[in-house]
Structure 1
Amino acid sequence: MTAARPARAAVPAARRLVAAFLTGVLAFGVAGCDDGSESEAQTIRIGMLTVLEGSLQAPGSELRDGFQLYLDMRGGRLGGHPAELVVGDEGYDPKVAVESATKLLEQDKVSAVTGMINGGSVAAIHPLTNKHKVPIVGGLGRPALTDVAYVWHTNLISVEPGVAMAPFVKQQVKRGSVYAIGPDFQSGRDELRGFAETFTELGGRLANPTGKPVFSPFPVTEDFGPYLDEIAESGAAAIYCFFDAQNAITFVKQYAKSKVSHLPLYAAGFVTEPASLPEQGDAAEGIYNGLNYSPDLDNAANREFVAAWNAAYPGRVPTSVVMASYDAAAVLDRAIAAAGTNPSPDAINTAIGGLGQLTSPRGPWQFAKTTHAPIQKWYLRQVRRDGRALTNVVVSELATLGG
């Protein structure tokens, strides 16, 4: 297991200074309080579980850096308190996440836990955070949970990308069936279930031989040839997929060279995130995908957020993962400020429930009372060329989900 460490050490001082220069950028409208009593204020530790090596290194780094950007823009403070981000290894097995979470909760005494790429990690540590009455304020996806008293998510429920995209795919594929494929881990199964259930409820038909999505072993699949051959044999009129990071790069490139390259490929937005597009190249051009954020959204909060990110991390395009982790920090900033002079994790959790509507780079959103996940707009994007570079361009709104 990678030892927990303060994430500030991972951010070059020059970048912190650039970001600190932008402290006037308050994407959530209300910043944390600062009464000038820093020497007396309680230091707040936030634990982050993420993946910083292997096939999910890119989104893992984005989780860390999005949260850190918010801290750097506010002088390393949340809710008027000095704040420290302590990073633990999420790993690729929920057992690793539990081990890391145990250290964060029992040794580091964190006031909240954030991050987590795999929804299985959220489910695995959930009993532990409930026991300690410490909120999870996650910045990526998670599965549906029956008890969300201490669970809040600033990005999405894992089924939602497929739910948002299914009506558009049904509209586009007027005749024939759609082959659905994704990786065999918790988030992958959730993502494809959301699409398959919604698509078939709308009268669509899956081309998969079993009538259910096909899942490739994760993260070890490097050859998608057998799956692409099966798609060809299925008679599908189109393909819908969810993959992320290296799997997304590999699948899209192999699809473009396969015998089914003439079929339209529709996707969850994570398939064509900016870190993957340079390697996917021409193979990604034209792919329609759905997500809750795009860096070209035209609103004041997003313009400020993108400017701050570009100043701190030149050459890297902000993603939905960056945005949601930034928003997780903003949620904690406001909640900690509202939770009193020496806020306990339980008080912070209560304060989150009273935040109401929030202003974000994605547009206005709020936590749903029943799921504690965002009620938010979803956007249809298409990969298009901007000069030599490929980028996701917002085409239209898909739906408002949540609640």
Structure 2
Amino acid sequence: MPQIDRRQALKLFAALGAAGFAAACASDESADNEPQLSDDPVRIGLVAPQTGPLKVIGDELVNGFQLYLQLNQNRLGGHPVQLVTADEGADAKSAKAAVESLLQQGALALTGVANSASLAGMRDTIEGATVPLLATNGVPGTLQGVLYIWSASFVDSDPSQALGGYLTGIVPASQRVAVIAPTDDTGRDAVDKFRQTFGATDARLIETFWTQATTAPGKDFFRPTLGQLKTSGADVVYAFYTGPAAVEFVKQYRSEGLDATVYAPGGFTEGTAIEDMGDEAAQGIYTAMNYSADLNNAANRLFATAYQREHDLLPSASAMASYDAAQVLDRAIRLCRGRPTAQQVNLMLGRVGQIDSPRGTWQFNQPRTPQQRWYLRQVRPDGQVMSNVLLSELATLG
């Protein structure tokens, strides 16, 4: 039988229809677990960039959440859903305004947020409103354990921890490792975690190079720092960037003629990043992520098939996390029984147990973030396209 690539396989599954997969998954639940249907709607607020440099991630967050609703008759916990979106914009001020708008509209729970740097500015608003926020992109380590803020994605420093532990075991003694990252709190936390897990005093670990934090760097933004990186003699580079900053970093990195092997967090090559970088520039980059579209489990076959059928794209980790956020809210609202309140939903989020997710089974830990597997991926040809291809499992964190 001839081999088919991941996209061809997903198209084949899509041709068969996702309904069959959904029926199979539903059959695993006993009748006792079926939600009691209600005519009382629940309003969920989704914070996502609809404009600006992070719009691509915002689209993924919306797409993932809406897909779960489509596969579940637009209900969560047996209640019809009114999904209200608000534009996160490009900075903390606009993100906070989006949250306040959704709270004023009576949202039972909030989800989304593409820019983790905006979460700290929302903390007091969320806690004061006593309405749970289920974040679906990275979250700062400083927000772990906050009563009304949960993460369905990961802590910002998790990929640094996963890669630091991995690289310390494979980099030869003769090679040197450099780190480059933005100077904001997220970047500094990531560098600290990488150095800690790699070994801060290890002779293989040389300089850390810092750049200004920005979501939209210019065409020469990285060049001065890359010049310093080039003269450092590094054989391996850990680059902590995501979104448009990652795309511009790779373009300038390649044009400067650097050839050290690049490792990065998963957001470095997510969504349209590979296409935006260019296949040749992106090829060979390694990333650590909690999801890969080619994971072979029943939940991912359902999700990835339905997502590609709907959007003609492979799903990203952000889309997957948003899909999972809907699944988590479905369970929590179901556990409330009757007409739920925001405080009841927040309490029940701690009781949802293990989640059968496209990423693999995970659950919330005590600080309200996922305990989950992390995977090593590499950008390489997958059939006729360049994709993040799963190589191995890195670690279980959380």
Same fold (TM over 0.5): yes
Q: Which residue, out of 294, 313, 338, partners 1:296?
A: 294
Q: Name the residue aligned to 1:195.
A: 194
CA distance in 2, matches of 1:149, 1:298: 34
Q: Name the residue aligned to 2:93.
A: 95
CA distance in 1, matches of 2:382, 2:229: 31
Q: What is the deviation of 1:62?
A: 0.5
Q: What is the deviation of 1:205?
A: 4.7
Q: What is the deviation of 1:305?
A: 0.8
Q: Which residue, out of 122, 129, 149, partners 2:119?
A: 122
Q: What is the deviation of 1:388?
A: 2.8
Q: Name the residue aligned to 2:237.
A: 239
Q: What is the deviation of 1:242?
A: 2.1
Q: What is the deviation of 1:188?
A: 3.7
CA distance in 2, matches of 1:20, 1:46: 25
Q: Which residue, out of 45, 48, 65, partners 1:47?
A: 45
Task: Tell me if 1:57 matches 2:60.
Answer: no
CA distance in 2, matches of 1:292, 1:72: 24
Q: Any conservation in 2 of the 1:377–1:397 contact (CA below 8 Å)?
A: yes
User: Quick one: structure 1 residues 91 and 193, their matched pair in 2 at CA, closer, same or farther if it must change by over 3 Å?
Assistant: farther
CA distance in 1, matches of 2:29, 2:268: 33
**Counterpart residue identity of residue 196, structure 1:** R
Task: Tell me if 1:337 matches 2:334.
Answer: yes
Moved more, 48-57 or 154-163: 48-57
Q: Name the residue aligned to 1:323.
A: 320
State the Cα deviation string for residues 272-326 of structure 1 (Å, max 9, x = none). Answer: 1241112221111111111110011111111111111112112x11011011110
Q: How does 1:105-116 map to 2 (within 5 A)?
A: 105=103, 107-116=104-113
Q: Name the residue aligned to 1:182.
A: 181
Task: Tell me if 1:376 matches 2:372.
Answer: yes
User: Residue 199 of structure 2 aligns to a residue in which SS?
Assistant: helix
Q: Name the residue aligned to 1:400.
A: 396
Q: Which residue, out of 164, 178, 190, partners 1:166?
A: 164
CA distance in 2, matches of 1:308, 1:347: 31
**Counterpart residue identity of residue 372, structure 1:** R
User: Quick one: structure 1 residues 234 and 181, their matched pair in 2 at CA, closer, same or farther if it must change by over 3 Å?
Assistant: same
The alignment's C-alpha RMSD in Å is 2.4
Q: What is the deviation of 1:199?
A: 2.2
CA distance in 2, matches of 1:123, 1:269: 22
Q: Any conservation in 2 of the 1:51–1:60 contact (CA below 8 Å)?
A: yes
**Counterpart residue identity of residue 318, structure 2:** V
Q: Name the residue aligned to 2:307.
A: 309
TM-score (norm 1): 0.87
Q: How does 1:197-212 map to 2 (within 5 A)?
A: 197-201=196-200, 203=202, 205-208=204-207, 212=208
CA distance in 2, matches of 1:163, 1:336: 33
User: Quick one: structure 1 residues 198 and 108, their matched pair in 2 at CA, closer, same or farther if it must change by over 3 Å?
Assistant: same
CA distance in 2, matches of 1:233, 1:132: 52
State the Cα deviation string for residues 216-250 of structure 1 (Å, max 9, x = none). Answer: 33024222211210101222222111222222222
CA distance in 1, matches of 2:27, 2:50: 28
Q: Any conservation in 2 of the 1:90–1:121 contact (CA below 8 Å)?
A: no
Q: Any conservation in 2 of the 1:142–1:157 contact (CA below 8 Å)?
A: yes
Q: What is the deviation of 1:357?
A: 1.2
Q: Name the residue aligned to 1:278.
A: 275
Q: Name the residue aligned to 1:4.
A: none
Q: Name the residue aligned to 2:71.
A: 73
CA distance in 2, matches of 1:128, 1:27: 37
**Counterpart residue identity of residue 203, structure 1:** D
Q: What is the deviation of 1:67?
A: 0.6
Q: What is the deviation of 1:176?
A: 3.9
Task: Tell me if 1:269 matches 2:276.
Answer: no
**Counterpart residue identity of residue 83, structure 2:** L
CA distance in 2, matches of 1:294, 1:141: 16
Q: Any conservation in 2 of the 1:118–1:186 contact (CA below 8 Å)?
A: no
Q: What is the deviation of 1:50?
A: 1.4
Q: Name the residue aligned to 1:252.
A: 250
Q: What is the deviation of 1:131?
A: 1.1
CA distance in 1, matches of 2:24, 2:192: 38
Q: What is the deviation of 1:92?
A: 2.3
Alignment: residue pair count: 376
**Sequence identity (%):** 39
User: Residue 24 of structure 1 aligns to a residue in which SS?
Assistant: helix
User: Quick one: structure 1 residues 72 and 190, their matched pair in 2 at CA, closer, same or farther if it must change by over 3 Å?
Assistant: farther
CA distance in 1, matches of 2:152, 2:333: 16
Q: Any conservation in 2 of the 1:27–1:361 contact (CA below 8 Å)?
A: no
CA distance in 1, matches of 2:310, 2:24: 13
TM-score (norm 2): 0.88
Q: What is the deviation of 1:193?
A: 3.4
User: Residue 23 of structure 2 aligns to a residue in which SS?
Assistant: coil
CA distance in 2, matches of 1:290, 1:214: 21
